[in-house]
Amino acid sequence: MTDRFTLARTAVRVGARGLAVLAAAGIAAAAVAAAALVPWPDHRAEAPSIVVQPAETGQVRVCPGPLLSIGEDPAAATTATSVGATSVISGALPADATITETPLAAPDNARADADGAPLALTTEPGAVDAGMLAGAQSQTVTRESLSGFAAASCTEAVAESWLVGGATDVGRTGIVMLANPTAVAATVDVRVIGETGPIDAPSALGIIVPPASQRVLSLAGLAPNVVSPVVHVTSTGGAIAASLEHSVIEGLTPAGVELVGPTAMPAPMQVIPGFVVPTAGGIAPADDHAEGDDFPAVRLLATGEEPAQVSIGIVAEAGGGGSTVDVTLEPGLVTDVPLGELDAGTYTLSLEGDGPFIAAARATTGAPEQQTDPDGADPEASVDLAWTTATMPLVDTAIVAVPRGPSPVLHLANPGGDQVEVRYTLDGEERSLTIAGGDAASADLDDQSVVELAGVAGVHATVTFSGDQALASFAVHPPGPLDSPIRVYPR
């Protein structure tokens, strides 16, 4: 009897505990449901940060220096030799700021003492508004092995740049120029990618460029017999202003020279304004075996790890209908895409892809044989070529230095959706251009002048030169990051 009573009392206790557990679970579930239904207060904590304006430093721009020729001296077939002097112009805002021109050491140029060297344009800290220092150079050369007109802007030295242009197959010469305007040595890696992929060139890795000096490399020595090279320059220590000289000889006739500056960094969208096509003609985009330089083309490289689908929009700057070329880029392989039959004129190329890529476009004034007279005599002047690089969007203001050259023109492209009014000051007179979203415009300039731009936020700009057997262009760059404010998150 006692055992049955004990068992019954135990069962009651267990049952009571079970009911208590179930009740607690029910209360918890109800609380959770209520919490889900009742709005909780929204609270968000931002990480503390401050915006720091770096101490003002003197601004620096680097002009690449005179055109070079390799093998001018038969006793030194691999030595670079300058072939004349450049014409340099610089300007700043305020206009009365002092700009100092300092030649860089050029040990790889046997004639630097006679023809001049690369120049570092510098200002004192705080003397010039951020980004408002500009310089540019130009040069005309007529030699048996080198002929044409070349112009280049003086650029900031950076840790990474991409040079799109040149070739090293028969009749093509490429020279890579590496200028270090800083006070510390730069260790530079030069990597070349071609139509078959990256080129193995161990000698181009770990190149030491001493302070305040320029090194010169033969592109053919790094990547021989490459039709479509792209040069990727990276540096540690000192920063580098890189440029590429591209020259062509057709048979025994010089067929142009160009100084190619850095193109815009890899991105899924690129804009190439002011692409000048001097003569009508071209090759169909589907022609995968197009050879030579005398047709409009764009050079592309997908820099990601996956193929990139790129659409190339070709629109005349004067307006009217355009055309589109679609291409698939394999990662790590450079592709030259002919742009089809184009009328003579100026175009804006808008390129959009589903992955990052880089781009630059090539045009020429014609083929050398087109310049030969009916009697079959040698042409009096050769043709010329130009590479027009992709550009970066400008900030609200900019300054442009225009060197000596034929028919300089400022080309402006507005890829955004909103209309912009660009104001520019030339010879002390302020003028304006209204550019609708997706449109482009241009303004004739005076050579040997400095132009101030305002209202150009988001606009892309190029300066071009064109004339008889003369063609060149360079990008208008936004200010670099050195004087930009920095947001700091203290720990």
Q: Does 17 score more than 60 pLDDT?
A: no
Residue range 304-333: mean pLDDT, rounded? 94
Number of domains in the chain: 1
Residue 161, beta-bridge partner list: 233
Residue 236 is assigned to a structural domain of this protein? yes
Q: For residue 209, what are its two tokens?
A: 């460029």
| Cis geometry, peptide bond prior to residue 331 (ω within 30 degrees of 0) | no
For the stretch 457-472, pLDDT in tens is 999 999 999 998 899 9
Residue range 422-442: mean pLDDT, rounded? 94
pLDDT-derived band at 20 (thresholds 50, 70, 90) equals very low
Longest dimension (CA), the chain: 138
Q: Is the dihedral of CA 263, 269, 275, 280 positive or negative?
A: positive
Q: Does 2 score more than 80 pLDDT?
A: no
pLDDT-derived band at 23 (thresholds 50, 70, 90) equals very low
Q: Does 377 score more than 90 pLDDT?
A: no
Question: Mean pLDDT in the chain?
Answer: 87
Residue 32 is assigned to a structural domain of this protein? no
Q: Flag the least confident range among 22-26, 62-66, 102-106, 366-370.
A: 22-26
CA pair distance 135, 158, nearest whole angstrom = 16
pLDDT for position 55: 59
Range of the domain at 252: 52-373+382-488
Residue range 115-129: mean pLDDT, rounded? 94
Residue range 205-234: mean pLDDT, rounded? 97
First to last CA, the chain: 74
Residue 266 is assigned to a structural domain of this protein? yes
User: Which residue has 């048979």 as its token pair?
Assistant: 251
- 175 neighbors 398 (Cβ within 8 angstroms): no
Q: Is the dihedral of CA 474, 322, 406, 467 positive or negative?
A: positive
Residue range 87-100: mean pLDDT, rounded? 95
Residue 451 is assigned to a structural domain of this protein? yes
Residue 14 is assigned to a structural domain of this protein? no
Residue range 401-410: mean pLDDT, rounded? 98
Task: Name the residue with higher pLDDT: 123 or 428.
Answer: 123
Residue range 448-458: mean pLDDT, rounded? 96
Q: For residue 284, what are its two tokens?
A: 């169909």
Q: For residue 113, what are its two tokens?
A: 């003492």
Residue 353 is assigned to a structural domain of this protein? yes
Residue range 25-48: mean pLDDT, rounded? 50
pLDDT-derived band at 236 (thresholds 50, 70, 90) equals very high
Q: Does 289 score more than 70 pLDDT?
A: no
pLDDT for position 157: 97
Q: Flag the least confident range among 41-45, 138-142, 155-159, 198-202.
A: 41-45
pLDDT for position 73: 63
pLDDT for position 451: 97
C-alpha distances in Å from residue 150, one per residue of 102, 132, 261, 344, 421: 22, 24, 11, 21, 31
Q: Does 369 score more than 90 pLDDT?
A: no
pLDDT for position 165: 97
% residues pLDDT > 90 (the chain): 72
Task: Name the residue with higher pLDDT: 256 or 16.
Answer: 256
pLDDT for position 482: 58
Residue 200 is assigned to a structural domain of this protein? yes
Q: Does 74 score more than 80 pLDDT?
A: no
- 165 neighbors 299 (Cβ within 8 angstroms): yes
For the stretch 339-363, pLDDT in tens is 999 999 999 999 999 999 999 999 9
Give the predicted TM-score (pTM) of the model. Answer: 0.85
DSSP secondary structure, 429-468, as one string: EEEEEEE-TT-EEEEE--SSEEEEEES-TT-EEEEEEEET
- 134 neighbors 61 (Cβ within 8 angstroms): yes
Residue 26 is assigned to a structural domain of this protein? no
pLDDT-derived band at 428 (thresholds 50, 70, 90) equals confident
Q: Helix or strand or coil: residue 31?
A: helix
In eight-state DSSP terms, residue 281 is B
CB 95: neighbour CB atoms within 10 A?
12
Task: Name the residue with higher pLDDT: 380 or 397.
Answer: 397
